[in-house]
Structures are given as structure tokens and as C-alpha cells.
Structure 1
Amino acid sequence: MPTSTAEPLRDDRAAVDKAISLLAAFDYQSHTGIGVSELARRAQLSKSTAFRVLALLERNDVVERVGTGYRLGARLHRLGQAAYTPENERTRDLLLPYLTDLYESTHHTVHLAALHGTEVVYLAKLYGHRSVAAPSRIGGRLPAHATAVGKAMLAYHPVAATRAGTEPLAALTEWTITETAHLERDLGEIRRRGIALDHQESRAGLTCMAAPILDRRGRPLAALSIAAPAGHLDTAALEPRLRRTCTAAARALLRLEPAAVGGR
């Protein structure tokens, strides 16, 4: 009897693992069709197994057919939207005008992000004239220690910074900070300067600079960043614009909803 009750649990766990591996295999191509063979290769599954699991996911609207390939389905997108909290929506709506101001004054790609644990979630993104491939996407998340927006907020959030320092620091590129002592030094410099830099730490060939939007107690509500191809970000010229925009955004939030913002 113990064998018969334990066996389905092992089967169910294996099925879930395979399904998650396939969903993760879509990566940043979640809206475009990917063939079964490629998904199977990425998920390290046999083609027949991948086809069988994809059929189950399709029946549940988690993936959908696109010609001979698959893309993420409507049900999964709805689940993703459910994880996008009302607080994030409020922050995005209030700060989007300042993100637009930053874009207009720089014509570079700009981001608005919030801190979620030891990760950043991207709330908005405007593409610049000189665009470069970046891992950021609206609603997407990245390790905070590997991004300018993330480090800008970690520097002013001791609890999240401590937690990040006790977890393994994943390397997204060969330049990502992976040593706790190095991260602590970097965060100290950010607090001194008020500006965070990402020198190809989140994506090779990409440079970013960011500043936090702080509440009246000095806690990070969000962060704005400017991104450009490595070697094409004039930090000396752009830093004052970034500072002014973040300061104006913080003042506006306090003026609009002082109780709500100050109580976070």
C-alpha cells in the first residue's frame, strides 16, 4: 500500500518539474512562437516528452500554438498580472510622467523599477534612439545586485541589502558583482554619491546609471535609470538630470499623498 500511494506523488512532481522547465525555456521569447525541438533542447527533455507536456499546458491555456510552434498563453499572462500588485500600479502611474521627462531630456532608454525582496521588478520602460539589447522588460524581474536600479535601492534598504548579501549572488555576466564584500563597498559608494552604475553587470555591452526615489524617511520607493551601449553613456552630463528628475518625483509623491507615501 505505501508504494501505491507514494508513486503518484513522484509522478506528479516529475510532471510539474517538466512543465516548469518548459515554461522557463521561453525566456524572453514568451510572445513569439518557439518550436518543440528547441523548447525540448532548452528544457533538456526528449522531444516526445516536451510535446506531451506542451499538449497538457495547451489544454489549460498556459501555452498556445503559433503555427508549428508555441508561445505563452493567456492564462499565464493573467496569473502574471495578478502578481503585479496594486502598489506597483500606483507607483507606475504616479511616476510615469517623470520617466517621460527623463527620456525627453536624454533620448536614452529609461527604466522605472521597484524593489521586490532582493529582486527588481520593472514597472515601465521607454526605448531610446540608440537602443541596445537589455534583459529588462515591463513586469520582468532581475537580481537587484546585478542592476543599477537594484543597487540604487539596496543602498537605502538595509534589510534587503543584508538579505541579498547572505544569498548567493548570481552572475549574469562576467562583470556582475558576486562577492558580498564587493557589493557592500559598492552600496556604500552609492550612498555617498547618490548614483548607482551598472558596468555591463546585467548584460554584456550595456551600461546603466540609476538613482533612487526616496520617501521622507530616506527609504526607496522606486528608482529611475538611464541605459545605453557601453561607452556611450556620458555619466558626467546625465547625472545632474537624473538627480533632478528623481528629486522632483520624490517631492511630487510627498505633495500628492504625504500620508500614504510617508507610511510605507
Structure 2
Amino acid sequence: MTASDRPASGKAASSGPSGPTGGGGGRPTVTSRVLDILEAFSAERTALNITQISRHAGLPLSTAHRLVGELTHWGALEREPGGMYRIGLRLFEVAALAPRGPVLRDAAMPFLEDLYEATHENVHLAVLDGLEVVYIERISARDAVHVLSRVGGRWPAHATGVGLAMLAHADTELQERAIAGPLRRFTDKTIASGPELRRVLAEVRRTGVAISDGQVETFALSVGAPVFGPDDAVVAAVAIVVPSDGWEARTLIPVVRASARGISRALGAPRALRPPETALHSR
């Protein structure tokens, strides 16, 4: 499987008059307009001038100019000499406070590096945000199988190894939301029905790993495993992504499972301290 920077399962960016509003459908609030400005930036649009920001955010030029000035003064945006704006470091500082960000990444990095050494392909660490996965770390060799993932990128959970690993151990309400669909199809191998997804999630719980073979792009195979936190709730997932031609999932399962278990132990998950057989079948 591969990951993308595109919005995942129909989570469209909101902007302009149809964007978020305050008061249950009233006029857009200042907060919603600020968020619209930040959402104007993407992996494909990392630098924008004030006219482009105004257009993508659906705001009058004067409003965009005023709010962009305030965001720049605070550090959320940075202005380049040519008049282009980029996301500022102040947002990175704030994001670093997220509990599923640097703390999780720091605990996981030694295990991700070991996992990378096992294949010299792609290694992903991701968290679940609703029915989407968000990638918070990626290690990849120059000649590894091509994937579109980036740190901060999103993808529908049902089509990815990391997503299936987390969904299988998520709360029942979230699982049922995923099963109810719609389930976006990318290839002929993509899970596209509720009953199929329910069966796959049960298999993930039974085996402790999730296999996504050609679900997003037919040439890529992903093997993922869940990571648990101090309360034994799933907090992340780790995965290896390799070419489907020349690799078999069964050869990757032991190292992926061991990596996820090591990260869980580093985070203080009680289940990671129990014998593997006991932890495998507990939820």
C-alpha cells in the first residue's frame, strides 16, 4: 500500500461561505476564517501569495490581508522577501505539544530504525484520526518502493496496513462507523464492503498484524501492527511497505510484530509485558 497527502475519506477542506461557521450555520467566525487560511496551504501549495490565499480560503482580499498579517505577526505564517507566505515555525512548536507527536515518535524511533534495517524499504508510524490515518514518521531508502506518504499526510484507514491495525483495536463505535462506509476503492483489491472489513478486522485481532496487499497501488505490500499505550488502548501503528513482487507478508510479520511490541513496552503498555500469546488475544 502507499500513503497519500490527499484528504482521505471524503474529508474535504472547508473554505469560503461553505466552510465552518459559528453558531450552527451562521456567518463564518474569525476562527473559521483563520482555519480556512491555514487550510489553503497543502503539500502541493507550500508557498502562496496573498491573492492565492484569498482565493483558496474563499475570503475577500482585504480580510485575507488583515488575518494573514496577524498570523504572520504571531508566527503561524512566515513572509518571504518576494511576498510569498509559508507555514511558520510557531505552528511546529505548538504541534510538538501533541501527546501523539514527539513523545510517541521518540519512543518509537529506535524500533523504527531496527525495522528499517530489516528491509531497507519504507517504515511508517501513524496514528488514527477518525477514519483516517495520519503519518507522524517515515523512514525510507532512496531506492525503496515508491510511496506518496509524508509526515502529516493522511489516507483512509481501511486501505492501509497501519489503519487496519488500529481500527481492529479501536472502540466499537468507530469500527461500526468504518464498516458502515462508504469505503473508497483504489484498486480491485481495496476493501470495499462492510462485511469484508468486519472479517478483516477480526482477523487482525486474531493474528496481531494487518496486511494490506495492493489496496492502494497494486505494486505495494504493507504489513502493520498496533501500538498500545499505558492504558492498553491502541495509540498508533507501525508498518513496513515493500514491493509486492519479491516479498511475502509472512516473512515480515515477526519483525513488524516485534517492533510494535517494543514500542508498546516503551510506552508502558501492560499488555506488552505479558507473554506474547496472552497479549495477542486480549483487547
State the TM-score, normalizing by the size of structure 2: 0.66
Match of 2:112 in 1: 99
Greater RCO (CA < 8 Å, at least 6 residues apart): 2
**Alpha-carbon distance, 1:258 to partner:** 6.5
RMSD: 4.2
Q: What are the equivalent positions in structure 2 for 1:51-200 lying under 5 Å apart?
A: 51-66=65-80, 67-82=82-97, 84-85=98-99, 89-115=102-128, 118-129=131-142, 130=144, 132-137=146-151, 142-159=155-172, 161-162=174-175, 164-165=177-178, 169=182, 171=184, 173=186, 177=191, 179-199=193-213
CA 210–260 in structure 1, closer or farther in 2 if over 3 Å, else same: closer
Aligned equivalent of 1:212, options 222, 226, 246 = 226
Secondary structure of 1:27's counterpart equals: coil
Gaps of 5+ in 2: 1-21, 274-282
Query: What amino acid is aligned across from residue 169 of structure 2 in structure 1?
Result: Y
Query: What amino acid is aligned across from residue 183 of structure 1 in structure 2?
Result: L
> For the residues of structure 2 that align with 1:215 and 1:97, how far apart are their CA atoms?
17
Gaps of 5+ in 1: 1-7
Which has the larger share of helix? 1
> For the residues of structure 1 that align with 2:116 and 2:76, how far apart are their CA atoms?
35
CA 41–13 in structure 1, closer or farther in 2 if over 3 Å, else same: closer
> For the residues of structure 2 that align with 1:69 and 1:188, how far apart are their CA atoms?
49
Q: Residue by residue, what CA displacement relative to the aligned partner does 1:62-121 show, whole Å, maximum 9, x if unpaired?
A: 211123311112332233223x11x65444333321111110011011012344554444
> For the residues of structure 2 that align with 1:188 and 1:75, how far apart are their CA atoms?
42
Contact (CA 8 Å) 1:134, 1:203: kept in 2 or not? no
Match of 1:243 in 2: 257
Contact (CA 8 Å) 1:149, 1:223: kept in 2 or not? yes
Identical pairs, percent? 30
> For the residues of structure 2 that align with 1:258 and 1:157, how far apart are their CA atoms?
15
Secondary structure of 2:169's counterpart equals: coil
